[in-house]
Amino acid sequence: MTGAGREIIWSEMGSKICMNAVCGSINTHEWKKGWPLRSGGYAHLCHNCGSTYENSVFCDTFHLEETGWRDCSSCGKHLHCGCIASKSLYEFLDYGGVGCTSCASSSRVCSMRNDKTPNGFGGSKINDGGSKISNGGESQSAPVENKVAHGGVDEGRLLQLCKIMEANEPNLLPQSQRADTNASLAQTKRDVVMHKIEEAGPGFSGLTQSSIGSLTFGKPDNGRTMLEVKDMHESLAQPSLNMTLGTLSGSSNFVLPFTGGILDGREQNKPPSPFQQGQRSRPILPKLLKSGIAGGSETNRGVFTHIRMARPPGEGRGKNQLLPRYWPRITDRELEQLSGDLKSTVVPLFEKVLSASDAGRIGRLVLPKACAEAYFPPISQSEGLPLRIQDIKGNEWTFQFRFWPNNNSRMYVLEGVTPCIQSMQLRAGDTVTFSRIDPGGKLVMGFRKASKDMQDTETSALPNGTPGETSFPGVVENFPAGSCYSGNSQTNKGSMDPHLIAASENLPLADEDIGLHRCESNGDSLQQSVSNPEKKRTRNIGTKSKRLLMHSEDVLELRLTWEEAQDLLRPPPSVNPSIVTIEDHEFEEYDEPPVFGKRTIFISRPSGGQEQWVQCDDCSKWRKLPVEVLLPPKWTCSDNAWDSSRCLCAVPEEISLKELENLVRASKDFKKRRTVESHKAAQECEPSGLDALACAAVLGENVGDPGESSVGATTKHPRHRPGCTCIVCIQPPSGKGKHKSTCTCNVCMTVKRRFKTLMLRKKKRQSEREAEAALKDDSLHKDESETNGTSKDELFHMHIPENEGGQSKTQIEVAEASAGKIDLNCHPNREDMQLEVPGLTMMSLVQATRLPLEDYVKQNGIKGLMYEQQASLGSCLPTQDTGEESGRHLSDEGCHASTSSVWERDSRGEGNYQ
DNA sequence: TTGGTGCATGGAC
DNA sequence: GGTCCATGCACCA
């Protein structure tokens, strides 16, 4: 067929994917032959959308020179091609169009004559998957024909685009991103797609709505793999493509912010676009927004306003190489806000998700190399230079921007970020954003809480979310003070410019409509940060590349949550269990697995009463229930048999959401306190790792499963890891059987060796003490009173179970000492070891150890093993006396010497226990 | 003993 | 196989 005097024929081009963001067709072998090029040959067009081979997204000067031309509306000379209809549109508008090469008049696209308009642009109407292309030029000056209803790009459509994008441009989504959480990946995909759409500009003005529709791969009759574009909108469902490519029509053109970053390496070798030359420092956002969104179509406002999408930064050295994961994610609403306050121009540069290292105490934030080289001052010396960066609160920080050589490359870091990170209460997983304020070039640092992101996603799924709001994460970014990126975080409003606060408060943002989850979690996060600003033990979960920092309390909370989750287990419905008795314990056996009941929250009233609240699955209202009620997985107001006045969703909630939030927060605090307390209690009860080992090695497995003991203990060892050769780590796995008396394994030999040293040391110290006591009567009396008198309890500040039956105090002490308080890591040469427990004196220990071990063993029912171990020990000790002594003096000062420092030394093998 | 520094290492891409 | 980068870790003050 023909179009605008040009014959459209098929041309063998090889299998190429149309890079058109919306199209993405795989043009197998055949491309449409387009208009003749000045350099000879023909342009090649996607058989689906009509884009040029290199497509509209990536077209630039190269195409302007090589492909079709248009006539200047003033002088009639040829100007430029239709490629500008897509990517470069906003650049044209931004710069007032392109000067005609002949008459120098500014030639906006809309005013150009269209006699050479290439197909696929300027209102080309493509039907049936692009198998036919009509005359694109004829509608050039016509207003945008948009046959599709307005509205936002919905999630489903975007996801489809994501899939296409992923299939077509696998390199766009880095593996690290793919391996990330689904939410993150989805967001990244959306970012890329949205950027693509955005890049495509008005060329897709008719596509940004439901016209994006379903994009499915198919095989038409000609056998070509191609993409069909169908409207997903039910009310607009049509059997064939209904897509009208946007026509540039004067002021109605919408403009999207940011010049498109180039994703593809092939762009890099092309001559620079005339629209970019000399324009690096232009203030991008406000100008674009002014000319764009403010006067743009509602369609596209609706599309982009709420969406947090990553956009490649508009400038910087080597910007083209920036991975999408570093693209700053900004919502158009924030940009819109920018357009209303042009006192300063914020140029988002890049962002980075904080790793555990970044957020850790080391105070170094690893910068993506490309970002550092693109946006930070060039440095030649490893020492780098100090960099002043302002945070969102207006505080100015000075970081050392430096690098160190790394594999013939460089690793860039910002040093000294800890105070800033703490100031912003950031943790691993949160995101820091780097922007620049123009004029002045001041670097500013914003942040985005990871938890908030998740909450946003979560909130979007809440029934009481704002209707019509995008399902994308809401706006939670905290932008630099003094700029328009004021953000919406309540947390930071206090330090923000008042007018910015007002502005942000006026924004009906998604996260203003936060549900209970968010308030709860946010407050929680804040509370955690405040109460535990530092010195937290961290634990990594997941793979190395996806390390997530978990604070110890979080881990505890996770455990607690799991315990709570078990509470939620409900027997399978309508199934009677069979009762099985095992060792006097009755178990209910079910054929079917249990189901999870509905989660409820328990809150404690200040008056002391407890309440159970549950959220209706239909209306999301919270209803109060009796505390003892267990709910099925699904629960709605109609199931509220306990309060007939509130058994309808229409009935308002009993208390305000705010009040409920407060109660929940209080309940959360209580839960946290309980968590910490239970953790402390667990710490007190759990034997240390070496204690467990001592029990295992000395007493044998009957005392308890050493493997089990070591599990709890391992968490106390700072350097346990695979390959660790410390005494705890080298012990045999649980269930491998006890060590025989003749065992010469590493563990047993170490235990024996240390035990011997321990006893020798004890004997020596005992004699010293006794000599001292003989010299000093006063101290002797005191010691005697401690030993024999009633102050023993005070000396032993240990956790002693209150109900110890008829055991004497001494027995209890020995029990404590023997049953798991032996720390064989104690250093024989360290005088301070015995003093680590307040009130614990040598004499008290000595007194305690005078009880024959056999008696203790008998009383505790572990005699057999002890005898066996004793025999083993006796064989390696020099004298029977010593051996006997060793049996009696198990409770040495090492009982409580398991400090982390000792562990450390042990794990490094630096301890001298010989 | 602790914390900072400079570099090395290894996994992921 | 090269590059990036998160983290480890030896060394030092």
Short-list A567, A523, A561, CA closest to A660:
A523
Q: pLDDT at residue A433 above 80?
A: yes
Tokens at residue A204, please? Answer: 């897709």
* Higher pLDDT among residues A406 and A51, named by residue: A406
Nucleotide nearest to A540 (CA to C1'): C7
Which residues from the 352-381 window of protein chain A have CB within 7 angstroms of nucleic acid chain C? Answer: 352, 355-358, 362, 364, 366, 368-370
The pLDDT assigned to A592 comes to: 58
- Segment A382-400 shows an average pLDDT of 82
* Higher pLDDT among residues A422 and A729, named by residue: A422
The pLDDT assigned to A615 comes to: 84
A608's CB contacts (< 8 A; 6+ apart) are: none
Asked whether residue A406's C-beta has any atom of DNA/RNA strand C within 7 A, the reply is: yes
| Nucleic acid strand C: bases within 7 A of protein CB | 3-9
Q: pLDDT at residue A873 above 50?
A: no
Q: pLDDT at residue A417 above 80?
A: yes
The pLDDT assigned to A755 comes to: 65
Give distance CA A548 / C1' C9 (Å). 21
Handedness of CA A818, A823, A824, A829 (dihedral sign): negative
Tokens at residue A395, please? Answer: 């505080």
The pLDDT assigned to A569 comes to: 57
The pLDDT assigned to A629 comes to: 78
Give distance CA A585 / C1' B2 (Å). 52
Which residues from the 110-129 window of protein chain A have CB within 7 angstroms of nucleic acid chain C? Answer: none
Which residues from the 421-440 window of protein chain A have CB within 7 angstroms of nucleic acid chain C? Answer: 428
Q: pLDDT at residue A29 above 50?
A: no
The pLDDT assigned to A838 comes to: 37
Q: How many CB atoms lie within 10 A of CB A684?
A: 9
Nucleotide nearest to A179 (CA to C1'): B12
CB < 7 A contacts with chain B (nucleic strand)? A 174-176, 178-179, 361-363, 382, 404-407, 411, 415, 543-545, 901, 904-905
pLDDT band at A575 (very low <50, low <70, confident <90, very high): low
pTM, entire model: 0.32
A841 sits in which H/E element: none
Q: Smallest Cα–C1' distance to nucleotide B8: which residue has it?
A: A406
Q: pLDDT at residue A421 above 70?
A: yes
Give the distance, in angstroms, between the CA of residue A467 and the centroid of all CA atoms in the same chain: 27
- Segment A525-550 shows an average pLDDT of 34
Task: Please state, in angstroms and rounded to a whole number, the distance separating the CA atoms of residues A696 and A712.
Answer: 14
Report the Cα–Cα distance between both ends of chain A, in Å, rounded.
95
Give distance CA A913 / C1' B7 (Å). 33
Q: Smallest Cα–C1' distance to nucleotide B5: which residue has it?
A: A362
Task: Please state, in angstroms and rounded to a whole number, the distance separating the CA atoms of residues A455 and A476.
Answer: 10
Q: pLDDT at residue A804 above 70?
A: no
Asked whether residue A725's C-beta has any atom of DNA/RNA strand C within 7 A, the reply is: no
Short-list A184, A208, A231, CA closest to A305:
A208
Nucleotide nearest to A403 (CA to C1'): B6
User: A228-254 pLDDT, tens per residue?
Assistant: 222 222 222 222 222 222 222 222 222
Q: Smallest Cα–C1' distance to nucleotide B13: which residue has it?
A: A175
Nucleotide nearest to A904 (CA to C1'): B1
Average pLDDT, chain A: 47
Tokens at residue A836, please? Answer: 């680590």
Q: Look at A566-570, A617-621, A830-834 and tell me which has the smallest mean pLDDT.
A: A830-834
* Higher pLDDT among residues A351 and A303, named by residue: A351
Query: Radius of gyration (Cα) for chain A, nearest Å?
Result: 36
Give distance CA A406 / C1' B7 (Å). 8
Give distance CA A290 / C1' C6 (Å). 41
Q: Smallest Cα–C1' distance to nucleotide C8: which residue has it?
A: A357
pLDDT band at A618 (very low <50, low <70, confident <90, very high): confident
Nucleotide nearest to A356 (CA to C1'): C6
Give distance CA A814 / C1' C12 (Å). 44
Give distance CA A393 / C1' B3 (Å). 29
Asked whether residue A408's C-beta has any atom of DNA/RNA strand C within 7 A, the reply is: yes
Give distance CA A648 / C1' B13 (Å). 54
Report which listed range, A31-35, A36-40, A100-104, A380-384, is most confident.
Answer: A380-384
A350 sits in which H/E element: strand A345-353
Nucleotide nearest to A546 (CA to C1'): C6
Give distance CA A721 / C1' C2 (Å). 30
pLDDT band at A374 (very low <50, low <70, confident <90, very high): confident
Which residues from the 532-571 window of protein chain A have CB within 7 angstroms of nucleic acid chain C? Answer: 540, 544-545, 547
Nucleotide nearest to A354 (CA to C1'): C6
A396 sits in which H/E element: strand A396-406
A385's CB contacts (< 8 A; 6+ apart) are: A377, A379, A400, A401, A402
Give distance CA A413 / C1' B4 (Å). 15
Give distance CA A328 / C1' C5 (Å). 19
Task: Please state, in angstroms and rounded to a whole number, the distance separating the CA atoms of residues A335 and A211.
Answer: 25
**Letter string b/e over residues A649-680, b meaning 16 or more CB atoms within 10 A of that residue's CB:** beeebbeeeeebbebbbebbeebbeebeeebe
Q: How many CB atoms lie within 10 A of CB A437?
A: 21
Residues counted in chain A: 914
- Segment A824-829 shows an average pLDDT of 34
Name residue A386's amino acid.
Answer: P
Short-list A67, A92, A104, CA closest to A82:
A67
Q: pLDDT at residue A723 above 80?
A: no
User: A684-716 pLDDT, tens per residue?
Assistant: 433 333 333 333 333 333 333 333 333 332 332
The pLDDT assigned to A378 comes to: 84
Q: Smallest Cα–C1' distance to nucleotide B4: which residue has it?
A: A362
Nucleotide nearest to A407 (CA to C1'): C3
pLDDT band at A882 (very low <50, low <70, confident <90, very high): very low
Percentage of residues in chain A having pLDDT higher than 70:
19
Give distance CA A843 / C1' B9 (Å). 51
The pLDDT assigned to A859 comes to: 44
Q: Smallest Cα–C1' distance to nucleotide B6: which residue has it?
A: A404
Task: Please state, in angstroms and rounded to a whole number, the distance separating the CA atoms of residues A766 and A784.
Answer: 14
Give Cα separations from A517 to A247, A431, A554 (angstroms). 45, 21, 17
The pLDDT assigned to A700 comes to: 33
Q: Smallest Cα–C1' distance to nucleotide B1: which residue has it?
A: A901
Give distance CA A408 / C1' B8 (Å). 13
Give distance CA A374 / C1' B6 (Å). 24
* Higher pLDDT among residues A760 and A798, named by residue: A760
* Higher pLDDT among residues A743 and A257, named by residue: A743
Nucleotide nearest to A369 (CA to C1'): C4
Give distance CA A383 / C1' C10 (Å). 20
Give distance CA A382 / C1' B9 (Å). 20
A595's CB contacts (< 8 A; 6+ apart) are: A569, A570, A572, A573, A632, A633
Which residues from the 9-68 window of protein chain A have CB within 7 angstroms of nucleic acid chain C? Answer: none
User: A42-101 pLDDT, tens per residue?
Assistant: 555 555 555 544 433 223 222 333 333 344 445 544 443 333 333 222 223 223 334 434
Q: Smallest Cα–C1' distance to nucleotide B10: which residue has it?
A: A544
A894's CB contacts (< 8 A; 6+ apart) are: A758, A822, A823, A824, A825, A826, A833
Tell me how far apart the 2 most distant CA atoms of chain A are, in Å. 120
The pLDDT assigned to A667 comes to: 62
The pLDDT assigned to A816 comes to: 34
| Nucleic acid strand B: bases within 7 A of protein CB | 1-2, 4-13
* Higher pLDDT among residues A540 and A592, named by residue: A592
**Backbone phi, psi, residue A726, to 5°:** -65, 165
